[in-house]
Structure 1
Amino acid sequence: MTSLPRVVIAAPASGHGKTTIATGLMAALRRSGHEVSGHKVGPDYIDPGYHALATGRPGRNLDAHLVGEDLLVPLLLHGARGADVAIVEGVMGLFDGQIGGRGFASTAHVATLTRTPVVLVVDASHASRSIGALVAGMHAYDPDVPVAGVIVNKVGSDRHAREVVDAIDLPVLGVISRDDGIVAPSRHLGLVPMDERDDAAAALDRLSERIARAVDLDHLLAIARTAPDLDAKPWAPAVTPVAGRPRIAVAGGRAFTFRYAETEELLHAAGAEVVAFDPLEDAHLPDGTDGLYLGGGFPEVHAAAIAANAPMRAAVREAVLDGMPTVAECAGLLYLCRSLDGAPMAGVLEADARMTGRLTLAYRHATAPADSVLGPAGTVATGHEFHRTHVTPEHGPTAAWTSDGRRLGFASASLHASYLHLHWAGAPHLAEAFVSAAARGLAPSRYAPTATAPSPLVPRDYSTTDSAARVRPRNEAVDRDHTAPAEPLRHHGDVEAVEGRLDFAVNVSSEPRPDWLTDALLRGVARADRYPDDRPAARAIAHRFARPLEEVLPAAGAAEVFGLVARLRDWRRPAIVHPQFTEPDVALQMAGHEPTHVVLAEPDFTLAADVVPEDADLVLIGNPTNPTGRLHRARDLEALRRPGRLLVVDEAFMDAVPGERESLAARSLPDVLVVRSLTKLWAMPGIRAGFALGPADVIAGLRAVQPPWAVSAPAIEAMVACHRPEAAAEASGRASRIVRHRAVLADGLAELGIAAVPSEAPFVLARVGQGIHAKLAAAGYAVRRADTFPGLDDRWIRIAVRPPELSRKLLTALRIELS
């Protein structure tokens, strides 16, 4: 018998907040001195990443479909080895399972099999006493499911909370206000993976503190300790190790965030050495690789970055086509295709992938029709499909699986690629077969990295400023033709987007504003008969980014913030990292300062901390940067921090980056000011709406030099509307469309042989050569001239991302002008 205090965190339905609260409970218990193990009911692969961050241990899944009922308790005990409490997060509603499955593999089913008490998380935002009836029904529905307590979420006031709690007959462990800022970002398949959130650790700290204040952790632990002992042994990999210790490279990084923890454990137990590589960042496979495992993730979000890493795509293509044993699941399948939404992939499979509006979500009982690296013909397994992409064709000459009469995926003697995610603990023979295949053909020496010319993805040597970046006086001239504007720092794309030209010059979204935003703007106009009060905007922004109110300053666009910063102090040596938008230059000059330009080098404009003068007391940088589209890593930005220096990060285009990865907006850092704008994504340049997030003393200083009533009533209403939950879904959709549309443009430029900077923004900086800007204008296409940006000349143009049909017209015009 094994003793394990444990509790299941469940809900009446999806959307009640169980993921966020379960993760917060794990973090709060850990910070109070407990060793906590985190578990997730079902096949979900994002929540366990948050659990791992909260507990410091691998997140684990409990899915009766994938591993069978008999393995649930052993897997629970295996994951909880050495822990003094286990927190199991449920899936969907407490009693919900696969349609037609009568609750099989539901949260209630897992709670019953593992004999674990349940704590319900209930969203009370749209009811009061009715919550008591809901809880009573959940408690009485199945006597074998022990509902032992309740956490009430999203109450609107103390009075509301008292009404709800009074109606509940079960113990209430905590009440959480909907104004507590307890949120998590989401995207088209659920939450944004933890590996894609550079603010994850800081956000978790805030979440842990708020949960610890709101929930009675001692009462929760008391419930967990009522769980009876379990009559089972912890799971252990039941495989026979092979000789030779083959090296298996496992894809990781932002694009490949998912694999079950037991997968690597089984590979190790089968005799493999497991090494990680990042298809986004690494230029070659790990030295001596004998096998490839390409698991799940979101390559559709990172298609452009994957496409930009041509050396890695070529290395994977060569390895797989040369017979390296390879297993690819879902994201791995997409990576091996020729293209994904038009962006080039590895090109191993004669297939193309694209995003669709349809979600495929299903368990599959599958049989292998032929021999492959996962075993002989007739091998059976149960897998899970979860994707919004479609591969054409759906299968190769030899399919990976057959299921319900359908052929799925691609297979050969050395390759197995399909949409199915497999939990190998339920079929350990798959791991043994894969490692055996890798051991039979240990990698030849050609898979070791070779001494070749430096890849553009290899970090640049910053030991000399000539090869990387140069510091120059503000007035040093750049090459321009005779049509250069008299005041280049004040030049704007609007000047070029004249009537009669297709507009690729203005970096404002071409999508129409949503109705709710137009309604908000009209409300603002209706309130123009009084002086504006920006406090509602500040509260909405503070809630969205989980920042204290005193760290938020609404403003009349980002341009006003730059002007306020310029007047904030008597800066000794302000520095601007270029190429960069020129509004900060103008603001500093108007305030009497002479900014130093730190100019990053072509072709990739990579940032390094040592390129900024050490004595700079103000540093301004864009992320993603206008006009390069370069998304700097958050850790590289933080490396620019120095005592006595204010770092200003212009995130005007960050809301166009899915998941807003690399953002510092949700980080309360003592010397970092983040500037945001609503102009671009929401298509309202005529409404000057922006804000700053930063240390309370800096915000107070900015407010002291800000004119009274600087923010208009329509801008205030827009800020409130754009930080509500419905806006988050719309913003996510817009950002995803930008990624897909940008890939069409970037791929077309590559086909024309035009060098372009890999972009994470709604524009692409392309080096087309001298004179092309003027030729395109004559042909009826407005693109943004780039020679007005310090550090660039007239060989470059900035092209705004537009729908594919318009981008193809521009690409055709470029082909004609370049021929």
Structure 2
Amino acid sequence: MVTRPAGHLPRLVVAAPSTGQGKTTIATGLMAALRARGLEVSGHKVGPDYIDPGYHAVATGRPGRNLDPHQVGVERIAPLLLHGARGADVAVVEGVMGLHDGRLGTDGFASTAHVAAITRTPVVLVVDIARMSRSTGALVAGMAAYDPAVEVVGVVLNRAGSARNVEEVRRSLRLPVLGVVPREESLATPSRHLGLVPAGERDEAAALVTRLGEHVARHVDLDAVLDVARSAPDLDATPWDPAREVTPVPGGPVVAVAGGRAFTFAYAETEELLAAAGCRVVRFDPLTDPALPDGTQALLLGGGFPEVHVGELARNTALLAQVREAVAAGLPTVAECAGMLYLLDSLDDVPMAGVIGTSAAMSERLVLRYPVARAVGDSLLTRAGEEVGGHEFHRTALTRAARGWTPAWEVDRELIGVASPTLHASYLHVHWAGHPHLAQRFAEAAAAAVPVPAPPAVEPPAPVASVVDLPPDPLLEPLLHHGDREVGPGLLDLAVNVHPEPRPAWLERALAEGVRASTNYPDPTPARAAIAELHRRRPDEVLVTAGAAEAFELVARWKQWRHVVVVHPQFTEPHAALERAGHRVTVVPCRAEDGYRLDPAAVPEDADLVVLGNPTNPTGVLHPAAEILRLRRPKRVVLVDEAFIDTVEGERESLARDRRRGLLVVRSLTKHWSLPGIRVGYVVGSERSIAGLAARQVPWSVSTPAVHAALACTGPVAVAEAGRRAARIAAWRSVLVAGLAERGVEVVESQASFVLARLGAGAREALRGQGVAVRRADTFPGLDGSWVRIAVRPPETTALLLGALDACALVPS
């Protein structure tokens, strides 16, 4: 950290001729690279965007800041820059869109060029030269000469290819080249329906930013960049100070501010204003925290992507109920965009807090506005007629207007949001640094509010020392609940679908050989060839994976899917992998009245990824291959999870040998060959698809023992034994189904190594009391607690289950 005169700040703007040139990658990497040199770096973003500053914060270790004349006024830009960069050695400002692109109809107001001119900051242009050579020189010359108030001082050439092309580009330029950055697709930041995935939602964000910094440091002249930054003149401005903008209120009221992965959009100055106004800002996570912070006197729900996490938000019912009661009772509450959605009756038909009597759903239309909004009436935050500069950015829409409320804003002759003396909620985002009176009013309302009562303490049940004790249920993550959580010491395992017979001697020998060979790094090439031969495909159409789970993760991160559909109820790991990758998942249910069979017509036409199991876990339903093929569309991928197809006699309806475009088939060797601790599976598909997945696979993810297992389990001896096992499973299943039918139990017709049976509420727990573990089914979307999944076992084991059912008196007499 440095001490320097108030107006002295080494700084530069990273801009581009247009969106898509790579300025976020270069700017973020530059911040990380300079920080790695030991410098204190301050990151800034032109415009209202919340997401890029999140990556800036990871790169710099300081809050990312926004510089937006539309929202805060021209006069505050330089003061806010100096405020955000207090103690920094250098400030890096990332531009927005093209250098001269600003608010439409305003001749470039709030553009990168406008901010560079206001702050007298030199500009470095990032230019993607993947498809250009000498035209780069003309483009840069035009950008540099267009506005005399903007000083373009250097160029970073991005996505550079051959040395010959780079040299041609260099000769065309009249400005210094500060860096030549080659193509590196693995460093791209993922996007979703509204842009980049926020850093707060990406577990790997820190590692990605570190790699960006290393990449930029290798290919950009950091000394030259620092020389550019140090050439910036001193600013004739006083750093912004929140303490000069507001007056402290008494009592230190607690303001609860939503955070976590679902609420990542916030301007740092908002919390600074509230703190300066005497509030105690306490963050909480609506995904995981069961209650508001102790003593909450006001609630701030900012923006984010609740539609991506709607299921987890809905499952936190205790917090939703507390928020509903507190806001209805008059808790001062401000909710912007995502925050407003959280307060609705429902979002995409999933229940929310129920404060505002309407719902919202994803729509085809992206709303992107940069308006001046006018307050409709007096409210918690506003007084009638007041105007603010704000922005809207959302792809959800209200299903109908909220009745009984005063609108919050008039925007482009449209009334939006709701407002009252204690609540202000709308799609509009507002930067409070430009309107500090909003923070003042909110703090005053908080100081006058009664703290939210703490929820009543719930006495935990007394522990019972017994083999029937259940492991803790993953209340917030049912998609990650697996059968192994049901088993325990002394329990008969009918919950896990691993084949119950011993592994064949030839497989044991292969595993032992794999362990001996594990002194070398694994090479899956022989396994790819063997799997390809089994399915009559080429080796480049096969990818060996660490179980089906890795395959699902690779597919989830392969593309920026626009509309993902998962057909449920089915194995939840693909759904979970897609959510982890930041995708919003549309559930298409198979109906009980149809026997949980696939209806291809129910899948939305615009879906570009459709996932289903065959046979489906947990129903055991085997869908006809012809019905699955009806799902194919141009530019759509159909992912078929055939993890249990080897339990089906003759592997009927398998699509592993079908080479039509748009099909991916995932197979697992885990369950049929009793290999859950080895983790081995594979994907088959077109050469292009497999190459795309392979590019995202971690090196050596498939162990040497797994490679040997794959070789053994796909050879002729294994194929013959698999057929015999499938026949035995069919016979065992008949005994189980008959025994359940004799007791009046509803069973879904299964062709797999498990059956889905409706034993009634409480049956699973009662069976545990008899020493029998079955798989709960209410964690599969579309099923409730009356269903359980039962693994098929030999008749003598099935007899124990049926005896336990009789002892529990769970079935009709």
Give the TM-score taking structure 1 as reference length: 0.65
Please tell me the root mean square deviation across aligned C-alpha atoms, in Å. 4.4
Per the alignment, residue 478 of structure 1 pairs with 493
| Cα deviation, residue 129, structure 1 | 2.1
Provide the C-alpha distance between the structure 1 equivalents of 2:366 and 2:449, rounded to a whole number of angstroms. 38
Aligned residue type for 1:122: V
Per the alignment, residue 544 of structure 1 pairs with none
Kindly report which structure 2 residues correspond to 1:564-713, keeping only aligned pairs within 5 A, or say none.
629=572, 654-655=577-578, 657-659=580-582, 682-684=638-640, 686-687=655-656
1:296 maps onto 2:303 in alignment? yes
Kindly report which structure 2 residues correspond to 1:302-451, keeping only aligned pairs within 5 A, or say none.
302-396=309-403, 397-443=405-451, 447-451=453-457
Provide the C-alpha distance between the structure 2 equivalents of 1:22 and 1:287, rounded to a whole number of angstroms. 40
Per the alignment, residue 513 of structure 1 pairs with none
Aligned residue type for 1:720: A
Per the alignment, residue 252 of structure 1 pairs with 259
| Cα deviation, residue 400, structure 1 | 1.1
The answer (yes or no) to whether the contact 1:362–1:384 under 8 Å persists in 2 is yes
Provide the C-alpha distance between the structure 2 equivalents of 1:777 and 1:464, rounded to a whole number of angstroms. 29
| Cα deviation, residue 319, structure 1 | 0.4
Provide the C-alpha distance between the structure 2 equivalents of 1:434 and 1:121, rounded to a whole number of angstroms. 41
Q: Of the candidates 454, 458, 470, which is equivalent to residue 452 of structure 1? A: 458
Per the alignment, residue 38 of structure 1 pairs with 43
Aligned residue type for 2:414: R
The answer (yes or no) to whether the contact 1:400–1:417 under 8 Å persists in 2 is yes
The answer (yes or no) to whether the contact 1:27–1:54 under 8 Å persists in 2 is yes
- SS of the residue 1:86 aligns to: strand
Per the alignment, residue 7 of structure 2 pairs with 2
The answer (yes or no) to whether the contact 1:777–1:783 under 8 Å persists in 2 is no
Aligned residue type for 1:16: Q
Q: Of the candidates 460, 465, 468, which is equivalent to residue 471 of structure 2? A: 468
CA 1:784–1:380: 2 relative to 1, 3 Å: farther
- SS of the residue 2:187 aligns to: coil
Provide the C-alpha distance between the structure 2 equivalents of 1:717 and 1:63, rounded to a whole number of angstroms. 43
The answer (yes or no) to whether the contact 2:302–2:339 under 8 Å persists in 1 is yes
Per the alignment, residue 777 of structure 2 pairs with 796
| Cα deviation, residue 110, structure 1 | 0.5
CA 1:159–1:629: 2 relative to 1, 3 Å: same
Provide the C-alpha distance between the structure 1 equivalents of 2:583 and 2:501, rounded to a whole number of angstroms. 28
| Cα deviation, residue 464, structure 1 | 11
Per the alignment, residue 188 of structure 2 pairs with 183
* Superimposed CA distance per residue, residues 595-650 of structure 1 (whole angstroms, 9 cap, x where no aligned partner): xxxxxxxxxxxxxxxxxxxxxxxxxxxxxx997747xxxxxxxxxxxxxxxxxxxx
RCO higher in structure (CA 8 A, sep ≥6): 1
Aligned residue type for 1:432: Q
- SS of the residue 1:257 aligns to: coil
Aligned residue type for 1:477: L
CA 1:413–1:176: 2 relative to 1, 3 Å: same
| Cα deviation, residue 178, structure 1 | 1.1
Aligned residue type for 2:197: V
CA 1:656–1:689: 2 relative to 1, 3 Å: farther
The answer (yes or no) to whether the contact 1:776–1:782 under 8 Å persists in 2 is no
More displaced, 677-686 or 11-20? Answer: 677-686
Provide the C-alpha distance between the structure 2 equivalents of 1:436 and 1:59, rounded to a whole number of angstroms. 28
1:149 maps onto 2:154 in alignment? yes
- SS of the residue 1:659 aligns to: coil
| Cα deviation, residue 140, structure 1 | 1.8
| Cα deviation, residue 773, structure 1 | 12
CA 1:59–1:461: 2 relative to 1, 3 Å: farther
The answer (yes or no) to whether the contact 1:293–1:328 under 8 Å persists in 2 is yes
The answer (yes or no) to whether the contact 2:491–2:773 under 8 Å persists in 1 is no
Provide the C-alpha distance between the structure 2 equivalents of 1:216 and 1:774, rounded to a whole number of angstroms. 73
| Cα deviation, residue 533, structure 1 | 5.6
Per the alignment, residue 127 of structure 1 pairs with 132
The answer (yes or no) to whether the contact 1:250–1:292 under 8 Å persists in 2 is yes
For this pair of structures, how many residues does the alignment match? 588
Kindly report which structure 2 residues correspond to 1:45-64, keeping only aligned pairs within 5 A, or say none.
45-64=50-69
Provide the C-alpha distance between the structure 1 equivalents of 2:70 and 2:544, rounded to a whole number of angstroms. 54
Q: Of the candidates 652, 677, 690, which is equivalent to residue 719 of structure 1? A: 690
| Cα deviation, residue 174, structure 1 | 1.0
- SS of the residue 2:334 aligns to: strand
- Structure 1 stretches of 5 or more lacking a match? 491-524, 535-553, 564-579, 582-624, 631-650, 662-676, 693-701, 726-769, 803-816
Q: Of the candidates 270, 285, 288, which is equivalent to residue 292 of structure 2? A: 285
| Cα deviation, residue 711, structure 1 | 8.6
The answer (yes or no) to whether the contact 1:557–1:690 under 8 Å persists in 2 is no
Structure with the greater alpha carbon radius of gyration: 2
| Cα deviation, residue 181, structure 1 | 2.8
Per the alignment, residue 574 of structure 1 pairs with none
Per the alignment, residue 543 of structure 2 pairs with 555
The answer (yes or no) to whether the contact 1:34–1:85 under 8 Å persists in 2 is yes
Aligned residue type for 1:215: V
The answer (yes or no) to whether the contact 2:640–2:666 under 8 Å persists in 1 is no
CA 1:377–1:711: 2 relative to 1, 3 Å: closer
More displaced, 21-30 or 460-469? Answer: 460-469
Provide the C-alpha distance between the structure 1 equivalents of 2:465 and 2:390, rounded to a whole number of angstroms. 48
Aligned residue type for 2:58: L
CA 1:10–1:263: 2 relative to 1, 3 Å: same
CA 1:42–1:489: 2 relative to 1, 3 Å: farther
Provide the C-alpha distance between the structure 2 equivalents of 1:301 and 1:562, rounded to a whole number of angstroms. 21
Provide the C-alpha distance between the structure 2 equivalents of 1:7 and 1:193, rounded to a whole number of angstroms. 24
The answer (yes or no) to whether the contact 1:246–1:272 under 8 Å persists in 2 is yes
Kindly report which structure 2 residues correspond to 1:212-227, keeping only aligned pairs within 5 A, or say none.
212-227=217-232
The answer (yes or no) to whether the contact 2:19–2:96 under 8 Å persists in 1 is yes
- SS of the residue 2:397 aligns to: strand
Aligned residue type for 2:319: M
* Superimposed CA distance per residue, residues 489-539 of structure 1 (whole angstroms, 9 cap, x where no aligned partner): 99xxxxxxxxxxxxxxxxxxxxxxxxxxxxxxxxxx9xx9997468xxxxx
| Cα deviation, residue 158, structure 1 | 2.8
More displaced, 53-62 or 158-167? Answer: 158-167
- Structure 2 stretches of 5 or more lacking a match? 1-5, 473-484, 503-531, 554-567, 585-609, 614-636, 642-654, 657-663, 669-677, 697-739, 759-763, 784-810
